[in-house]
C-alpha cells in the first residue's frame, strides 16, 4: 500500500509491521488524533478463523477501559476488511525491555508487575480470561507505565472459539492445563503471569526446550528451581509469590490477581530499598532448533501462536540436513513388508499440524498401511496366549480388530517389532505435508470414507481395512478417516469433563491419575468432520469399544543396510 493512504476516517502514515494483520501509525482525520490502526489483510479475510478471531479481539477489547490496558478507540470494516483503531503507544514491549536490559531496578520491575497484575485483575472481574499473558503482550510506554494488550485469543464466560484439539496460547507461557487441553479457568493467566515474573526478575526464561516434546514435558513435570531465584537476590516474599503462581495444580496457585497485586504492593512498600539492583542477566532468546533428533513423539501438541493477527510458528528441527533427509528417504522403499502388516514410508520433513497448520518437522518413519486386521491380531493372540477380543469375527479376517485397549494395541506393536504412533506422526501420515483437510485432499466427500453419511454403502459397521484405495493418504495409508478410531500414544492428564463423561461407561470409574491417551480419525458412526485429520478424543487407556482399533508405526533407518 502506497503511503500516505486513506482508510475509512484514518490517514495511514507509517507501516509498523504485522502478519495476518498490518498495523499502521495513522491520523484520525475527524478529531486529529494519532492512533494505531490494525487492518486484517486480504489473506486474513479469506481465512474464516482468522477473521473471526480479529473481530473477537475488536469486540472484546472495545469493552475494556483501564489505565493499564491499551485503549481501543474504534473498530469497523472498510473495503471489506475489518480494522481496529487503538491508542498509539510510544515505547516497546516488555520482551524488548528485557532483551536490552532496560526494565530498570528491582523497584521499577515490581511496579511493572503490579500494573500488569492490576490489568489482569480488571479483565478477570469482567469475566475475561486473557490466555496469552507474556512479555510481548505487556507494553512499556516511554513514561514507564505498563499496558496489557492483545486480546485476540481471550475468552469470555460462555464463549469458546477454540475447536477440539486446538490449544491456543504461547508455548513458553502456557499452563499445564492448557497443554493438556483441559477446560480453562482464570488460573491459566495466574500461571502465565508467574512465568513472566520469573523472567522479569531473573532475566532468564523459565520454560525452555529443544523441541515441542521437551517444552511440554518441562511444563507438565519440572518445577522452577528456587536456587535461581535466591541467587537473583530476590526478597523471600517475591520468591514465594513466583513459586505459588507457577504451581502445576491450579488449586495450589494464588486464586486471584487481587491477591497477587496486594502481595506485590506489600513487597514494594516494605522490603525493597530504592535503587535495589535487578538481575544482571538479560532475558534469554526464544529457544531455537538445536539439532535434537526426534524419536517417537509422545505427549505433544503443536501450537499456533496468534499475535496481533499474525502467526508465529514453532519449528522442531531434526539433526539431518534437508539434502541428506531427501537422499535418505529416497533410499528407503515406499512400501515395507513387515510382521503384522505392510507399512508405508512417511518421508522426513515438515508438515502442517493442527487447525492452525503449524509447521512441524519429523524424521522419516513407517506406519501401517491399514488398520490392524483381525487376521494379524489372531496370529498375535495365538503366539501370546491371548484370545481374540469379543466383537471380532474370526471368519472376517480383514475387518479391523476392535475392542482393544491401548495396552493391548501396544503389546501387539511390540510383538510385531513396531510401536504405537505418536500424535504428530499419525497426523502427518493422514494429511501429508500440505495441511490438507482429508487424506484424499481438501474436498469434503463422504464417499471417500466409512462415516455416518456413507452408512448405506458400508452398512453402519467397519469395512475391510484394505478398501478405498482411491482415497488413500499422500503416503499411501488407508482409512485414516472413518472406519474405526485409532489409538495414538499421547499420554496426558484429562480434563474434569473428560473424566466425568466416562464415569458411567467404565467400572470402576476412571480417575485423572490413571493412563489416558488420544484416539484419532473418527469412526463409521461419526459424521465426516472438516477437522477429522487433527481432532482427537481423550479416553482412558483401558477403554475398549467396537469403534476403536489401531495401527502401528516404526522408525525408519537412515538408509537400507
Active site residues: 132
Does the N-terminal peptide bond of residue 111 adopt cis geometry, omega within 30 degrees of 0?
A: no
- Asked if residues 343 and 366 have their Cβ atoms less than 8 Å apart, the reply is yes
- Cα–Cα distance for residue pair 542/398, rounded to 1 Å: 24
DSSP string covering 401-444: P-S--HHHHHHHHHHTT-BPPBHHHHHHHHHTTTT-SBTTBSS-
Q: What count of other Cβ atoms lies within 10 Å of the Cβ of residue 385?
A: 6
Burial level of 270, CB count in 10 A (0-12/13-18/19+)? exposed
| CA angle, residues 70, 74, 80, in degrees to nearest 5 | 125
Place of cell 537400507: 560
For residues 262 and 145, give the distance between their C-alpha atoms in angstroms, rounded to a whole number. Answer: 18
- Asked if residues 46 and 85 have their Cβ atoms less than 8 Å apart, the reply is no
CB under 8 Å to 125, separation ≥6 — which residues? none
Quote the CA–CA distance of 443 and 38 in Å, as a whole number: 33
Q: Which of 77, 47, 66 is nearest to 128 (CA)?
A: 66
Q: How many CB atoms lie within 10 A of CB 46?
A: 10
Q: What are the angstrom distances between the C-alpha of 308 and each of 16, 18, 42, 343, 394?
A: 12, 7, 15, 43, 57
Cβ atoms 338, 418 nearer than 8 A: yes
Which residue carries 483501564 as its cell?
66
- 342: exposed, middle or buried (Cβ count in 10 Å: 0-12, 13-18, 19+): middle
- Cell numbers representing residue 179 in the block: 497443554
Collapse the DSSP code of 489 into the 3-class scheme (helix H, G, I; strand E, B; otherwise coil) and give the result: strand
From residue 236, alpha-carbon distances to 167, 230, 283, 462 in Å are 34, 8, 21, 61
CB 414 within 8 A of CB 424: no
Report d(CA 341, CA 552) in Å as an integer: 9
Question: What is the rounded CA–CA span in Å between residue 27 and residue 10?
Answer: 5
Q: Which helix (H) or strand (E) holds 430?
A: helix 423-431
Alpha carbon distance 464, 427 (integer Å): 22
Count of helices and strands (H, E) across the chain: 16, 23
Amino acid at each position: 500500500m502506497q503511503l500516505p493512504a486513506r482508510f475509512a476516517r484514518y490517514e495511514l502514515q507509517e507501516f509498523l509491521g504485522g502478519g495476518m494483520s498490518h498495523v499502521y501509525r495513522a491520523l484520525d482525520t475527524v478529531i486529529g488524533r494519532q492512533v494505531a490502526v490494525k487492518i486484517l489483510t486480504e489473506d486474513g479475510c479469506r481465512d474464516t478463523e482468522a477473521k473471526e478471531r480479529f473481530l473477537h479481539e475488536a469486540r472484546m477489547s472495545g469493552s475494556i477501559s483501564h489505565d493499564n490496558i491499551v485503549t481501543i478507540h474504534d473498530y469497523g470494516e472498510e473495503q471489506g476488511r475489518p480494522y481496529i483503531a487503538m491508542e498509539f503507544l510510544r515505547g516497546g514491549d516488555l520482551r524488548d525491555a528485557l532483551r536490552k536490559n532496560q526494565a530498570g531496578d528491582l523497584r521499577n520491575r515490581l511496579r511493572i508487575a503490579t500494573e500488569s497484575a492490576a490489568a489482569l485483575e480488571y479483565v478477570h472481574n469482567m469475566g475475561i480470561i486473557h490466555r496469552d499473558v507474556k512479555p510481548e503482550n505487556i507494553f512499556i510506554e516511554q513514561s514507564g507505565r505498563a499496558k496489557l494488550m492483545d486480546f485476540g485469543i481471550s475468552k469470555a464466560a460462555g464463549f469458546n472459539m477454540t475447536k477440539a484439539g486446538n490449544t491456543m496460547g504461547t508455548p513458553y507461557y502456557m499452563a499445564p492445563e492448557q497443554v493438556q487441553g483441559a477446560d480453562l479457568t482464570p488460573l491459566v493467566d495466574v500461571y502465565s503471569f508467574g512465568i513472566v515474573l520469573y523472567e522479569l526478575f531473573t532475566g532468564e526464561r523459565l520454560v525452555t526446550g529443544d523441541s515441542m516434546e521437551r517444552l511440554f514435558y518441562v511444563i507438565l513435570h519440572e518445577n522452577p528451581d528456587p536456587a535461581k531465584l535466591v541467587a537473583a537476590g530476590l526478597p523471600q516474599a517475591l520468591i514465594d509469590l513466583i513459586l505459588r503462581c507457577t504451581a502445576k495444580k491450579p488449586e495450589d496457585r494464588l486464586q486471584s490477581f487481587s491477591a497477587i497485586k496486594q502481595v506485590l504492593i506489600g513487597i514494594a512498600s516494605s522490603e525493597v530499598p530504592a535503587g535495589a539492583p535487578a538481575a544482571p542477566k538479560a532475558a534469554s532468546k526464544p529457544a531455537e532448533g538445536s539439532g535434537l533428533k526426534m524419536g517417537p513423539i509422545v505427549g505433544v501438541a503443536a501450537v499456533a501462536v496468534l499475535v496481533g493477527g499474525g502467526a508465529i510458528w514453532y519449528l522442531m528441527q531434526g539433526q539431518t540436513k534437508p539434502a541428506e533427509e531427501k537422499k535418505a528417504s529416497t533410499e528407503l522403499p515406499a512400501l515395507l513388508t513387515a510382521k503384522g502388516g505392510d507399512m508405508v514410508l512417511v518421508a522426513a520433513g515438515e508438515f502442517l499440524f493442527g487447525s492452525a497448520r503449524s509447521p512441524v518437522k519429523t524424521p522419516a518413519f513407517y506406519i501401517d498401511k491399514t488398520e490392524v486386521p483381525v487376521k494379524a491380531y489372531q496370529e498375535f493372540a495365538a503366539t501370546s496366549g491371548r484370545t481374540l477380543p469379543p466383537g471380532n469375527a474370526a471368519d472376517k479376517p480383514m475387518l479391523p480388530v476392535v475392542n482393544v485397549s491401548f495396552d493391548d494395541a501396544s503389546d501387539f506393536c511390540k510383538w510385531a517389532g513396531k510401536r504405537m504412533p505418536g500424535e504428530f506422526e499419525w497426523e502427518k501420515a493422514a494429511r501429508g505435508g500440505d495441511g490438507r483437510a482429508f487424506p484424499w485432499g481438501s474436498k469434503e466427500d463422504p464417499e471417500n470414507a466409512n462415516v455416518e453419511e456413507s452408512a448405506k454403502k458400508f452398512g453402519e459397521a467397519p469395512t475391510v481395512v484394505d478398501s478405498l484405495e482411491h482415497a488413500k493418504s499422500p503416503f499411501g495409508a488407508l482409512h485414516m478417516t472413518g472406519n474405526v478410531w485409532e489409538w495414538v500414544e499421547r499420554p496426558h492428564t484429562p480434563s474434569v469433563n473428560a473424566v466425568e463423561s466416562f464415569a458411567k461407561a467404565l467400572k470402576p470409574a476412571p480417575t485423572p491419575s490413571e493412563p489416558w491417551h488420544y484416539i484419532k480419525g473418527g469412526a463409521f458412526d461419526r459424521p465426516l468432520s472438516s477437522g477429522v485429520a487433527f481432532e482427537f478424543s481423550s479416553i482412558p487407556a483401558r477403554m475398549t469399544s467396537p469403534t476403536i482399533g489401531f495401527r502401528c508405526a516404526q522408525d525408519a533407518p537412515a538408509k537400507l543396510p
